[in-house]
Amino acid sequence: MTTTTTTEHPQRTPEEVRERHAQNLGHQVAGGVFNPRQLLTSFPEALRKLDPRHQARNPVMFVVWVGSLLVTVFAVGDPSVFTVAVAVWLWLTVLFANLAEAVAEGRGKAQAESLRKAKTDAVAHLTDGRTVAGTELKVGDLVVVEAGQVIPGDGDVVEGIATVDESAITGESAPVIRESGGDRSAVTGGTTVLSDRIVVRITAKPGETFVDRMIALVEGAQRQKTPNEIALTILLSTLTIIFLLAVVALQPFAVYSGGEQSVIVLTALLVCLIPTTIGALLSAIGIAGMDRLVQRNVLATSGKAVEAAGDVDTLLLDKTGTITWGNRRATELIPTPGTTLDALVDASRLSSLADGTPEGRSVVELCAVEHSRPAEADEHEKTGEFVPFTAQTRMSGIDLDGRRIRKGAASAFTLGESTKAVVDEISAQGGTPLVVAEDDRVLGVIRLSDVVKPGMRERFAELRAMGIRTVMVTGDNPLTAKAIAAEAGVDDFLAEAKPEDKMALIRREQEGGKLVAMTGDGTNDAPALAQSDVGVAMNTGTSAAKEAGNMVDLDSDPTKLIEIVEIGKQLLITRGALTTFSVANDLAKYFAILPAMFAAIYPQLDKLNIMHLGSPQSAILSALIFNALIIVVLIPLALRGVRYKPSSASALLRRNLLVYGLGGVVTPFAGIWLIDLLVRLIPGIA
């Protein structure tokens, strides 16, 4: 697998990548911080969601909607202050639940609107000489795009090379290179060619382009409930049914005891006891998870992929461009016995002056920076005959003044025992040895190092603390792979990897019940991307790779996979934390409402009125008001997500129970008591 991170952004560190995410298109539109104004702008949409057809999708809130309608009917027939107040706060509970979902969707719709503005209907110049509108293109059409023209549709470059401005899609201002015959051939409709000429084969129908899919996904039009979300919805529905049966069964006991309760009171009790808080926020949490990915320029084709990222057990990471920078650089010159360092420096520099590869340039740079040699060839050196590298000779160099100076693979030279030992040592340490010789006499060895990106060891340590196993995938030999793996701190490595080897590794992991995530950008990566549970395709990659994966990284940064896992875990933790808080809330509401309902019949129950609420009506209304307001209070947390710190599952559970379990018990006691102080002041509330 090849990547383009180092080609297009060679000096970007992981920290700089995260910094740039704060400036990209998604962040500019959505913003990572909750703004209270979003509540006002989303209010009209929340009102539209009062439609019963929409409410029926959420069983918990549908019960509240039915209860609100029922109490409203009684309020019309008996417009007492208490009945009207209960009806109003029941409707507000439904409205606030709609508001949470509307705010989450509103952020996505803002992103979609920005993408629509960036979308351009371009004219397409076909290779047969015809000119048609971009909307009339068919899959397989060949389109010529020259400098200054907009690419009319998604496709693959089949001829030529060009620089392309993709800032409208990725938010990245720097142009990128797209060329035929490699893993950087995919182009996106609506982007602009800045130089040269390319021929593009169209791979998507009008209306089904990458931008169209982005718009549909970020505005939530295609959002489907994830497996965990469905399971939690079933659990919440079951709890709702249990509490409904309990409340219905309560009335016969109340009648028998001489304390018959009104439908208004029973409805208020039911709404306060069912898990309305998490029921109201569940949809918003899922939408916000997708939104956080978009803010980081990652497009997930489904919420299921985001959720799976949170449960990943094994990460497959490509070495080149992900763990290492990918450009091997000369880091040391080692002379053979009997050769001075100066002689080796001069020969290494001369052999590399005409070498335009990154390795060759790095040799010249090393000689200039550390050994004070000129970085450019002088007039005399330019008279030499430069010998290019070939696969047959496996060496390059210069013929100058009767001297034959060459550098190349160790296998191309006859080496002494001491030089062989140096070559083997460099290979064992993860480097690449280049031998330098003059007139068949070996002068020394150049060490090329594929430098591990800064901070990678720490990030892998975090993943290990999360219980995730990391596997480095590389085409290097086992000795080099082992050295790089040890330096980077990954748990395991797969050396000399071929596409079928990746597939076999993924299947072995999955057969053991593990979820696997990987990145890829080439057509040969497509099978493995499709097989993995979380397949992140690079936007610079081929159309086959993007179709096979369930996520697309618009920045084409393979290290983003680590952040995707963190976002997935944050989604799951946020859902679990708010579920814990919601269930814990019911305990305080129990102490508020039940003693108020039956204290007159059973004075002993007054001992449970530990909050010393004013009256049965004020207690019931206070609990109902708190039940509605807590939804609004928790909207920012649902959208932002619970802060995630890498730790073990047991540590996460302890923190969850301590903060959100205990907090879910204590907060309602304080909130209901304070609200009761105000409710007592309302005339007509006994």
Same domain, 395 and 463: no
**469-473 and 314-318 as β-strands: parallel, antiparallel, unpaired?**
parallel
Same domain, 258 and 237: yes
Please state, in angstroms and as integers, the Cα–Cα distance from residue 319 to each residue in 6, 369, 432, 447, 490, following that order.
Answer: 12, 28, 15, 19, 10
Same domain, 247 and 342: no
30 falls within a domain? no
Same domain, 84 and 50: yes
* Crossing angle between the packed helical segments 616-640 and 263-273, to the nearest 10 degrees: 30
Instruction: Identify the residue with better confidence: 540 or 260.
Output: 260
| CA 301 to mean position of chain CA atoms | 12
Q: Which two tokens stand for residue 386?
A: 């430069």
The pLDDT, as a whole number, for residue 116 is: 65
Q: Which residue has the tokens 């993709």?
A: 166
Lowest-confidence pick of 206-220, 253-267, 304-318, 651-665? 206-220
Would you call 142 exposed, middle or buried from its count of C-beta atoms within 10 A (0-12, 13-18, 19+)?
Answer: middle
* Largest pairwise CA distance in the chain: 117
* Amino acid identity at 427: S
Strand partners, 133: 123
Strand partners, 517: 315, 534
539 falls within a domain? yes
**Comparing C-alpha atoms, which of 114, 468, 174 is closest to residue 295?**
114
Same domain, 224 and 87: yes
Same domain, 465 and 573: no
d(CA 74, CA 78): 6
pLDDT band for 620, please (50, 70, 90 cuts). confident
Strand partners, 436: 407, 444
Does residue 17 carry a pLDDT above 70?
Answer: no
DSSP 320: B
Binding site membership: which residues?
355, 359, 389-396, 407, 521, 525
Lowest-confidence pick of 50-59, 222-231, 271-280? 222-231
**Comparing C-alpha atoms, which of 319, 298, 229 is closest to residue 566?**
298
pLDDT band for 97, please (50, 70, 90 cuts). very high
**Comparing C-alpha atoms, which of 570, 553, 324 is closest to residue 466?**
570
129-133, 296-300, 597-601, range with greatest mean pLDDT: 129-133
Q: How many CB atoms lie within 10 A of CB 127?
A: 14
592 falls within a domain? yes
Kindly report the length of the chain. Answer: 686
Q: Which residue has the tokens 């401005």?
A: 165
The pLDDT, as a whole number, for residue 317 is: 84
Question: CA neighbours within 13 Å on the CB side: how many for 481?
Answer: 18
Question: CA neighbours within 13 Å on the CB side: how many for 338?
Answer: 6
143 falls within a domain? yes
Same domain, 576 and 652: yes
Q: Could you tell me which residues come within 8 angstroms of residue 102 by beta carbon, excluding any fewer than 6 positions away?
A: 42, 43, 45, 46, 49
Q: Which of 141, 318, 476, 533 is catalytic?
A: 318
533 is catalytic: no
Please state, in angstroms and as integers, the Cα–Cα distance from residue 19 to each residue in 65, 174, 175, 295, 551, following that order.
Answer: 44, 16, 19, 12, 21
**469-473 and 492-494 as β-strands: parallel, antiparallel, unpaired?**
parallel
Lowest-confidence pick of 215-224, 225-234, 316-325? 215-224
406 falls within a domain? yes
Q: Which residue has the tokens 């094994």?
A: 314
Would you call 59 exposed, middle or buried from its count of C-beta atoms within 10 A (0-12, 13-18, 19+)?
Answer: middle
pTM for the structure as a whole: 0.68
Map residue 87 onto helix, strand or coil: helix
Could you tell me what percentage of the chain is helix, strand and coil, using 3-state DSSP and rounding each to the nearest 5? Answer: 55, 15, 30
446 falls within a domain? yes
Handedness of CA 547, 549, 555, 556 (dihedral sign): negative
d(CA 271, CA 636): 23
Same domain, 97 and 75: yes
Same domain, 479 and 626: no
Domain that holds residue 648: 36-108+218-292+566-674
CATH number of the domain within which 146 lies: 2.70.150.10
Please state, in angstroms and as integers, the Cα–Cα distance from residue 42 to each residue in 36, 37, 47, following that order.
Answer: 10, 9, 9
CATH number of the domain within which 508 lies: 3.40.50.1000
Rounded (5°) CA angle 674-273-637: 65
Per-residue pLDDT reduced to its tens digit, 299-331: 777 777 888 888 888 988 877 767 877 667 888
Domain count across the chain: 4
| CA 380 to mean position of chain CA atoms | 55
Per-residue pLDDT reduced to its tens digit, 474-530: 877 787 788 888 888 999 998 888 888 888 999 999 998 889 998 877 777 788 888
Binding site membership for Mg(2+): which residues?
521, 525
Same domain, 71 and 161: no
Lowest-confidence pick of 48-52, 253-257, 401-405, 441-445? 253-257
